[in-house]
Chains A and B, each alone.
Chain A
Amino acid sequence: MDWQYAPAPESAAIGRVKPRYQPFIDGAFADGSGPDVATINPGDGRDLAQVSQSTVTDVDRAVAAARTAYDRVWGPMPGAERGKYLFRIARAIAERSRELAVVETLDNGKPIRESRDVDIPTAAAHFFYHAGWADKLEHAGLGPSPQPLGVAGQVIPWNFPLMMAAWKIAPALAAGNTVVIKPAETTPLSLLVLAEILADADLPPGVVNIVTGAGDIGEALVNHPDVNKVAFTGSTEVGKKIQASLAGTGRRLTLELGGKAANIVFDDAPVDQAVEGIVNGIFFNQGHVCCAGSRLLVQESIAEEVVAKLRERMATLRLGDPMDKNTDIGAINSAEQLARITALADVGDAEGAQRWSPPCTLPDHGFYFPPTIFTDVSQAMRVAREEIFGPVLSVLTFRTPDEAVAKANNTPYGLSAGVWTEKGSRILGMASALRAGVVWANTFNRFDPTASFGGYKESGFGREGGRAGLAAYLDSGDY
């Protein structure tokens, strides 16, 4: 029987998207000194809202507000009191989760299923988790009396806007720091809705300040002399520049950058679940995931079977309107990113890899790219080496565990990896041999605030989540 699912769109009205948004500095929404810029709904390519842009002067004002709040209110406040604010914020995110999910999907293009089931709950979970730490810092194993660093300057990417904001803001506040944060220019809305939540929670003015704008504003923020700690998530290229410009300043820095993760499937893997894991590893969030499993390394003895099953599974993925509750693959975040993915995939063709996508109709408007795999890929090809940041998987094979490790580690990146095998000892052996900050065993792309996340090599340094993530916002003194 031919059974088509009727459209099941979430109502855009739930997002209560306003025509115009303003930056949030010193506890108040106020126009930035720059012009308004439209943020686009990638699902249909239309303007979603106008956003007033900050300038370097506004960054100065935000940092000054954060400094004052740190010195007078937030720094001296007992941890138990800070914890109350964080719990309040966490609850408010949970209460407004449906609205936030809609805003996220409209602004980012990710399927509503993911923003509803992953992004927003995980954001709330990070606030809940860190709220609990606020009055227990002396017991975190980071010295007898760990101290906050001061003002944290944070720059976050467009792939998980609210979740990345939570990863940055929650530990900073729990540890007693104040924050100036800049969302990506294409996805500022959910963070500006979070600002409403912060204001409703009566968070003291200046504790969290949000500036808007593009790379130049981010640059001004991370290089601001009165910022004590910089946390950046984004491209390796920008990360390198930040590290160079902060060298010698004494400011603390954590970087969470790109990746080209290997998802390694052994011949004794639970094959059906491995196929799910491959799909989730590369097509979750349209592959806009720094830890995406973009290189499939499959043992040659089962490669044919795995790829056949992968193709069958890909044919059931539903690409389309991100607001439809049954959509599995939504829109690419921007025209610029779509062009980049298209160009890199074309390089794959030119280098002789075999491209395959399931038959699927792309919507007429908005930015879309079909789920794609490349087979006959060699380590030397650009599709196997460069981060594509899109729904494009390169399939490579290996013969022995040593070869799998060698190929998996043969990348300048080292953010994540996946291992699929029913053999427990092999999981442990692989986990110690793989040079990646996160190694998933028989799963992929799972995030939890209690587990620290971060990379090796050109994927950055420093951790977010868990006790290690807390350490990034604390000075342990001589301990």
Chain B
Amino acid sequence: MSSLTADPAGTPVASRAAAPPPALPAHLSDATVDAASLRRFLHGLPGVDPVGLEARSAALATRSIKKDSKRQAIDLAISMVDLTTLEGADTAGKVRSLCAKARRPDPDHPDVPTVAAVCVYPDMVGTAVAQLIDTGVGIASVATAFPAGRASLAVKLADTRDALEAGATEIDMVIDRGAMLSGNYGLVFDEIVAVKKVCGSTVLKVILETGELGTYDTVRRACWLALLAGGDFIKTSTGKINPAATLPVTQLMLQTVRDFHSETGERRAVKAAGGIRTTKDAIRFLVAVHEVAGREWLSPKLFRFGASGLLNDLLMQRRTQDDGHYSGPNYVTVD
């Protein structure tokens, strides 16, 4: 594949015709005219001061969420979970039990909301579809040679089509981190645009793998790039790399979708995936969603948790709130 940024003088970004969603304001659509413009735009974004960013995250983490507000947060968090299994050892049986959990997270308490989606590899989508038909639970599939993304565009697109044909309702793609780090933004952009074209109206989550991007400045550039290319969600991580979804990096992404909204009037979504295991963690993220992006983002349409173990902790804490005492892990199902 030829490098678009190697020839910055006005090389058209390949799949522009399929690209950005309508009605980007001129200064933003101009940024995607060619690779050089895109590079100028991304490098013109204000920097991120890591000390200040992390200090704000630490302050948000001190919010004390009690009583009704905690109960509300738990149900909201459950409804935002993309219940995930992405193992080489996944089997149809494992995926079926995950789907059962997604449909009815706590069999003793039918009032618990369903999760937002399950998230599986493309070859497991068919199994999930059979379990989740007419439940309202989404079927997200990772694609594009997840998790490394080290494959040709043709393979990535085939992987995506495969998942879609099997019935995936959401696609979680990975960006080419190598291209991002070497400054080949045009390539990263084109790949997202191409995958989005294949997805059509299906929700596309763009995994930035922030743990590999090295600096918050690069994360901010990747966020903007993914939003300009038409990603519906920007997602922190694959879950295969540490660090994954930290509070500061999620805060930065929330700030970016807020900025994107004030520039375009359009609300895009954020998914924090990997490393969020407890209710306490989840509530800290919701506080950040609330105070950084705004209350409109407190919805599974605009914020998700990519997690597996988190759900059971949320269920245990929900029971604790309702019953007035903690009952422990033997009262929720291990799937």
Residues of A within 8 A of B (CB): 1-8, 113, 117, 268-274, 276-277, 316, 325-326, 422, 442-443
Contacts and interface: CB of A to CB of B under 8 A. Distances in A.
Interface in B25-59: 46-49, 51-53, 55-56
Given A1-B299, A3-B290, A316-B291, A272 B66 contact: no
B62 interface: yes
27 contacts: A1-B76, A2-B295, A3-B286, A3-B290, A3-B295, A5-B66, A5-B69, A6-B70, A8-B65, A117-B62, A269-B46, A269-B47, A270-B46, A270-B48, A272-B46, A272-B48, A272-B255, A273-B48, A273-B56, A274-B52, A276-B55, A325-B62, A325-B63, A422-B49, A443-B51, A443-B52, A443-B55
B298 A3 contact: yes
A3 B52 contact: no
B52 A276 contact: yes
Chain B interface, DSSP helix/strand/loop, else mixed: helix
Nearest to B62: A113
A1 B300 CA distance: 11
B304 to A, nearest CB: 15
Nearest to A277: B52
Interface in B237-282: 255
Contacts, number: 72
Contacts of A422: 47, 49
A285 to B, nearest CB: 14
B73 interface: yes
A113 B63 CA distance: 9
Interface of B: 46-49, 51-53, 55-56, 62-70, 72-73, 76, 255, 286, 290-291, 295, 298-299
Contacts of A276: 52, 55-56
Contacts of A8: 64-66
B66 A442 contact: no
B49 A4 contact: no
A427 B43 CA distance: 21
A244 to B, nearest CB: 42
The 6 closest A-B pairs by CB, nearest first: A273-B52, A8-B64, A270-B49, A325-B64, A273-B49, A1-B298
Contacts of A273: 48-49, 51-53, 56
A15 B141 CA distance: 54
A285 B63 CA distance: 17
A270 B73 contact: no
Contacts of B46: 268-272
The listed residue with most B CB atoms (<10 A of its CB), out of A269, A270, A272, A316, is A272
The listed residue with most B CB atoms (<10 A of its CB), out of A1, A8, A326, is A1
B65 A6 contact: yes
Contacts of B66: 5-8
A442 B49 contact: yes
A267 B69 CA distance: 39
Given A270-B46, A270-B48, A3 B69 contact: yes
Contacts of B76: 1, 3
Contacts of B47: 268-270, 422
The listed residue with most A CB atoms (<10 A of its CB), out of B64, B69, B76, is B64
Contact of A6 (B56, B67, B255, B286): B67
A247 to B, nearest CB: 43
B303 to A, nearest CB: 10
Nearest to B255: A272
Given A8-B65, A273-B51, A442-B51, 18 more contacts: A1-B72, A1-B76, A1-B295, A3-B72, A3-B73, A5-B66, A6-B66, A7-B66, A8-B66, A117-B62, A269-B47, A270-B46, A270-B47, A272-B48, A273-B56, A276-B56, A442-B49, A443-B51
